Amino acid sequence: MTATRVLVLNSGSSSVKYQLLDMSDSGRLAVGLVERIGEQTSRLKHTPVATGGESREWTGPIADHDAALKAVAEELAKDGLGLDSPELAAIGHRVVHGGQSFTRPTVVDDAVLAEIERLIPVAPLHNPANLTGIRTAQALRPDLPQVAVFDTAFHTTMPEAAARYAIDVETADAHRIRRYGFHGTSHAYVSRATAKLLGKTPEEVNVIVLHLGNGASASAVRGGRCVDTSMGLTPLEGLVMGTRSGDLDPAVIFHLARVGEMSIDEIDTLLNKKSGLIGLCGDNDMREIRRRIDEGDAQAKLAFEIYIHRLRKYIGAYYAVLGRVDAVAFTAGVGENAAEVRAAAVADLESLGLAVDGGLNAVRGDEPRLISPPDARVAVAVVPTDEELEIAAQTYALVGRH
């Protein structure tokens, strides 16, 4: 029997999201998540996609990631998809920070684990949870290849001019301070899918990818290689996001510390959790913001305008970085669904060859699609992202070669 299944795990500090895919047809067999791990009210939700069965939910204490993964394995086994199956080829793990070390997906061994651990100072929230997920999965199936797929990997092709901050080089190097970028799996997937939509190879096209979810980032992709991206050392830099400020004068931090008498941790929380759309208007869901704007809410309108202003600045910046742009692709929760955001992002940019067709932009759907007028110089596209499929595909490609 050929092993064609890949389990994709996205382990957070208190959650595990998972998908089981069959790479013979890229089909999903099961999806689910465990959240609030370590609390009394942990919750598991499992959807057996392959059998078309109802989702199953369970609430109760799940002590740690080990218990969470065992619970997931039990749910999968109920559908005949147990992790002991010989059809399981590998487990693919999303790992947030691969630093400069990991430029591609990597089969996990002790040296890889040690390197992911070494990177914890630059990803204190994410890498420990990702490591726990890998170690737990290893314990469950020690014989199976575990593959780490890094959020940062796609961005390691950025030239030094884009990757370096203009600060003292020795200090930067001593603390590994540089622009790493995130959402790389999505930017890779969407830039390739956009080329395909245009009937071209990735090498033939230059694409600006706008990943607009709760976290948001833009990237400039030349011929399939990332040459710039908006997130930096951490996911805080760049666009206005659901709860993150994105770009700001770093002196705001000194000012808050000296004049506002806030601690570093308080400022960290302010900028990562209480800023962006939620800080500006109290809501971080674009649907709610649009609803409030329709009711004449001035605060929601200003938040939207600030969000769009920043987005347009990045489109302009990446236009200049790339020189020639073949397509602008919108993806993730906001990018895929919020037609008003897409229209506003490229409004009055006909001189750059950018425009959306109102009718096409209003169409909803799950497939990649063009929303620019047929004669537009630059294609504007909506390209739904699929990070789990991309992680599974990269995992399977790697394991298949071994």
List contacts with ligand ADP (CB under 6 A).
213-215, 242, 284-287, 332-334, 337-338
335 is in an annotated binding site: yes
Q: Which is nearer to ligand ADP, 46 or 211 (CB)?
A: 211
364 is in an annotated binding site: no
Alpha-carbon gap, residue 283 to 286, rounded angstroms: 8
Q: Which is nearer to ligand ADP, 233 or 334 (CB)?
A: 334
Q: How is residue 353 annotated by DSSP?
A: T
Residue 284 Cβ, how far from ligand ADP at the closest point, in Å?
Answer: 6
Written as six digits, the tokens of 361 are 């932009």
Residue 349 Cβ, how far from ligand ADP at the closest point, in Å?
Answer: 22
Alpha-carbon gap, residue 264 to 232, rounded angstroms: 19
Nearest to 156 by CA among 106, 214, 92: 106
List 151, 228, 283, 386, catalytic entry: 151
Nearest to 186 by CA among 3, 397, 383: 383
Q: Which is nearer to ligand ADP, 85 or 337 (CB)?
A: 337
DSSP codes, 135-146: HHHHHH-TTS-E
- E strands, 223-292, in order: 225-229
Residue 216 Cβ, how far from ligand ADP at the closest point, in Å?
Answer: 8
* 302 CB neighbour count, 10 Å cutoff: 13
Residue 341 Cβ, how far from ligand ADP at the closest point, in Å?
Answer: 8
Alpha-carbon gap, residue 155 to 220, rounded angstroms: 10
336 is in an annotated binding site: yes
Instruction: Identify whether 375 is a catalytic site residue.
Output: no
Residue 20 Cβ, how far from ligand ADP at the closest point, in Å?
Answer: 20
127 is in an annotated binding site: no
Residue 385 Cβ, how far from ligand ADP at the closest point, in Å?
Answer: 8
DSSP codes, 73-103: HHHHHHTT--TT-TTEEEEEEEES--TTT-S
Alpha-carbon gap, residue 158 to 156, rounded angstroms: 5
337 is in an annotated binding site: yes
Nearest residue to ligand ADP on Cβ basis: 333
Residue 350 Cβ, how far from ligand ADP at the closest point, in Å?
Answer: 25
Q: Which is nearer to ligand ADP, 221 or 286 (CB)?
A: 286
Alpha-carbon gap, residue 358 to 378, rounded angstroms: 16
223 is in an annotated binding site: no
DSSP helix/strand/coil, 288: helix
Q: Which is nearer to ligand ADP, 105 or 333 (CB)?
A: 333
Alpha-carbon gap, residue 6 to 85, rounded angstroms: 11
Contact 230, 316 (CB under 8 A): no
Q: Which is nearer to ligand ADP, 366 or 375 (CB)?
A: 366
Q: What are phi and psi of 397, to 5 degrees?
A: -60, -40
54 is in an annotated binding site: no
Contact 69, 41 (CB under 8 A): no
Q: Which is nearer to ligand ADP, 93 or 244 (CB)?
A: 244
94 is in an annotated binding site: yes
Q: How big, in percent rounded to 5, are the helix, strand and coil portions of the chain?
A: 40, 20, 40
Give the residue ranges of the annotated binding site for Mg(2+).
10, 387
Give the residue ranges of the annotated binding site.
10, 17, 94, 211-215, 285-287, 333-337, 387
- What are the catalytic residues? 151
Give the residue ranges of the annotated binding site for substrate.
94
Give the residue ranges of the annotated binding site for ATP.
17, 211-215, 285-287, 333-337
